[in-house]
Structure 1
Amino acid sequence: MKYPILLALTTLASALPQKRATPQGIDVSSYQPNVDWTTVKNNGISFVYIKATEGTDYVSPSFSNQYIGATNAGLIRGGYHFAHPDLSSGATQADYFLAHGGGWSADGITLPGALDIEYNPSGSECYGLTASSMVSWIQSFSNTYEAATGRYPIIYTTTDWWTTCTGNSAAFGTTNPLWIAIYSSSVGTLPAGWQYETFWQYADTGSNPGDADLFNGDAAGLSR
């Protein structure tokens, strides 16, 4: 993501030999402005999440070119929004995301938008919100996105942050797919409410640009 996940775990370069048959992906932002998408595709990458927005005043200058490049290379792709719950409401940020690349369409190649909600890069870990206020903020974002697209957004987070800042809320496990970030050989304990992860960001480096991800399923499931 735009900011490194603050985990005290070492990235494992060969952490997932048992899961290599599952669709592999990456996520990128303006930190990777010039991606060779043909090479990425040839390396076996099937999908990509691309940073689109942050708060209500930032649109990634790389988003458009990255999105077009990934599309032209034949990758399944989607946008993500880095949340700043301290700056404006969830609904306001969802609308901003939707207006700047975060939309969804049933074309078979567009992933639902993702809400990147994690450690505050420049202040209080939980953005000054109580656990109940944080849950309400996420619900506001999620409901606004679903009302506009018919799909609930993916939630990207870590178990540690989720437990600390939402009180380990189980409110989203039956609606929002989970994209878990944990740099280890297994996903470990998931946040409450989710029985499994849909995406797993398992490393912040690799042979491709950006972070390394896996889809929990097969190619047909990813397309669905």
Structure 2
Amino acid sequence: MSQILTRLTALALIALLAACGGRNAPPQRDAAPTNNAPTRANFGEANPQDFGRVGPQNHRVHGIDVSKFQPSIDWPTARDNGVNFAFIKATEGGDQADPLFDQHWQGAARAGIPRGAYHFFYHCRPAIEQARWFIAHVPRTRGALPPVLDMEWTPTSPTCRVRNSPEHIRSEAQIFIRALQSHYGQRPILYTAIDFFEDNQMWRVQGADFWLRAVKAHPKDLYAGQHWTFWQYSGTGYVPGIAGKTDLNAFAGSARDWTAWLAANQH
């Protein structure tokens, strides 16, 4: 009888722990196994640029970033034509969620494409509220790329065109980055453009890798001395499997570097 009671007690404890889940539950696994050997980019360009001696063609690993503005994506076709990673818009500010995030998130996963989620920063709302909004919408999924904070000026926003001080902006960036680091256990990525980068001395922000926009020159020619991991080199690209135009990006290193970076940075 005592052995039976002991076993029943153990089973009850296991059931209780499984029901608790919570923050310490393991990340979800919903992605197909990824092939880390990158495929060659077979992209087109609506607005070709001359980048000089060093351009996108000098980089081996390419990918995309997408949102609701790319409503139809054949992810396996995109993968076979050089989409080796995808950053997908999840949230904006503290009350907007991209309506196609879940669709794109699951589609990229099924195709075996490494993908991460990004948040577009709203300068009229505290960073911690925005971080909580992002965390509420983006699961801790095994195999996901690090989360991304997209910070840029918003001169055409219908509700918020404020330009806060550089000190305030960097402080808000650090708050957001720390919150994501704590929740996802990954070093976040900070996306920005050259004007915002220079106006706010964003090179002083700590704890994040950089994803830089430069559509007419190589990042080394615009962001002197700044280390970067991803480069957005086009906003008018064509990718087989995606209807209409999309943003094109390159990874900083070689195919071997890419494999190593994935091993170190995927959740």
TM range (shorter): 0.7 to 0.9
Cα distance in 1 between the residues matched to 2:177 and 2:236: 29
Residue 13 (structure 1) shift: 8.0
Report the secondary structure of 2:86's partner residue: strand
Cα distance in 2 between the residues matched to 1:116 and 1:183: 17
Residue 135 (structure 1) shift: 1.1
* Alignment deviations for residues 74-102 of structure 1 (CA, whole Å, 9 cap, x no partner): 1000100000021x21111011101112x
Rg: which structure is higher?
Answer: 2
Cα distance in 2 between the residues matched to 1:58 and 1:68: 20
Residue 123 (structure 1) shift: 6.5
Report the secondary structure of 2:216's partner residue: coil
Aligned letter for 2:132?
D
- Alignment counterpart, residue 189 of structure 1, candidates 207, 213, 222: 222
Is this contact kept in 2: 1:51–1:80, CA < 8 A?
A: yes
Cα distance in 2 between the residues matched to 1:77 and 1:47: 6
Is this contact kept in 1: 2:89–2:119, CA < 8 A?
A: yes
* Alignment deviations for residues 85-122 of structure 1 (CA, whole Å, 9 cap, x no partner): 21x21111011101112x445x3x31111001012131
Report the secondary structure of 1:204's partner residue: strand
**TM-score under structure 2 length normalisation:** 0.70
Aligned length in residues = 204
Is this contact kept in 1: 2:91–2:134, CA < 8 A?
A: yes
**Is structure 2 residue 177 aligned with structure 1 residue 142?**
yes
- Structure 1 residues 67 and 169 mapped into 2: Cα distance closer, same or farther (>3 Å)? closer
**Is structure 2 residue 97 aligned with structure 1 residue 97?**
no
Aligned letter for 2:248?
A
**Is structure 2 residue 150 aligned with structure 1 residue 116?**
yes
Q: Which runs of 5+ in 1 are unaligned?
A: 1-9
- Alignment counterpart, residue 216 of structure 1, candidates 231, 237, 252: 252
Is this contact kept in 2: 1:11–1:204, CA < 8 A?
A: no
Q: Pairwise mapping of residues 42-191 of structure 1 onto structure 2 (< 5 A)?
A: 42-86=80-124, 88-101=125-138, 103-105=139-141, 107=142, 109-120=143-154, 121-122=156-157, 127-164=162-199, 166=200, 168-173=201-206, 175-187=207-219, 188-190=221-223
Is this contact kept in 2: 1:80–1:114, CA < 8 A?
A: yes
> What value does the CA root-mean-square deviation take over the aligned residues?
2.3
Is this contact kept in 2: 1:11–1:183, CA < 8 A?
A: no
Aligned letter for 1:89?
P
Q: Pairwise mapping of residues 17-56 of structure 1 onto structure 2 (< 5 A)?
A: 17-19=57-59, 22-56=60-94
Task: Give identity over the alignment, percent.
Answer: 31
> Quick check: which one's helix share is greater?
2
Residue 51 (structure 1) shift: 0.3
Residue 145 (structure 1) shift: 1.1
Cα distance in 2 between the residues matched to 1:92 and 1:13: 41
- Structure 1 residues 12 and 23 mapped into 2: Cα distance closer, same or farther (>3 Å)? same
Q: Which runs of 5+ in 2 are unaligned?
A: 1-46
**TM-score under structure 1 length normalisation:** 0.83
